[in-house]
Structure 1
């Protein structure tokens, strides 16, 4: 995969996180956020420096559509691995969006190695959080990957 393809996939992941957040806080529809992505409104370059290319529209669509369609399953896979006493709905909305996008990609994009998926979403978390959240997201996605990619070697 060349640098342009890597940047395109990163932009799609960041855009998916922003779209899932937007959907949760404003009630935007899947169609609304896909239109925003196509129009270049997602991801917003001011929020990350590596989104200099157009995003991978197909990856973006898969992440958004599957995160919405399979939200209950993905949320269960994430919630099972949260620390005792924590619930997914108690997390920051951005962290929730990162976890849902990451879980959707782990489940749906099996051709992308687990470590790559997790590292990408940890990097996104680092662009939004300066505290312990990236480490928490790393641990939660790593644990959820065992459920979402069960039977896959190295998951």
Structure 2
């Protein structure tokens, strides 16, 4: 018997985290409010539906999603200067696409966490997510920035 495609629950969690960080920034919402909204209305499968309707993310792991969002917001005052240092001079953080900014903050937050997956796994996950959102130079920029941060935050892995 064959198995269906492997569900990437951790990737789904990271996609949801990027979307939640984007929403929190755009609406000026408290991260706990956004986490609650996502858990109640956007994560998990609705009965009688196959999953992705109305922006749902059916396979997300709530603990990872919540941890990334909370860490990104809690550490934003430390993360943003790291991102600014890692970005090319002609890409100021304030002018970066807000989805890309949310993605890089989520990636930086996860790279800052202890006990998570290896840095290269985190970078590859966020690179895959960036490719889902962007077709231009943005995935390459996200990859370069997160790689630079990883080499600083997790030097022992390189």
TM-score (norm 1): 0.84
Unaligned runs of 5+ in 1: none
In 1, the alpha carbon distance for the partners of 2:118 and 2:101 equals 22
How far residue 102 of structure 1 moved from its aligned partner, in angstroms, is 0.4
State yes or no: 1:45 paired with 2:49.
Answer: no
Q: Answer yes or no: is the 8 Å Cα contact 1:16–1:101 preserved in 2.
A: yes
Displaced runs of 4 or more, over 6 A: none
The one-character-per-residue Cα deviations of 1:104-138 (angstroms, maximum 9, x if unpaired) are 01111443011110111111111111111101100
In 1, the alpha carbon distance for the partners of 2:75 and 2:54 equals 27
In 1, the alpha carbon distance for the partners of 2:58 and 2:36 equals 19
Give the secondary-structure state (helix, strand or coil) at the position aligned to 1:39: helix
Q: Find 1:76's aligned residue among 81, 84, 87.
A: 81
Pair member with larger Rg: 2
Q: Find 1:124's aligned residue among 129, 132, 157.
A: 129
Unaligned runs of 5+ in 2: 1-5, 45-50
Aligned-residue CA RMSD (Å): 2.3
Size of the alignment, in residue pairs? 147
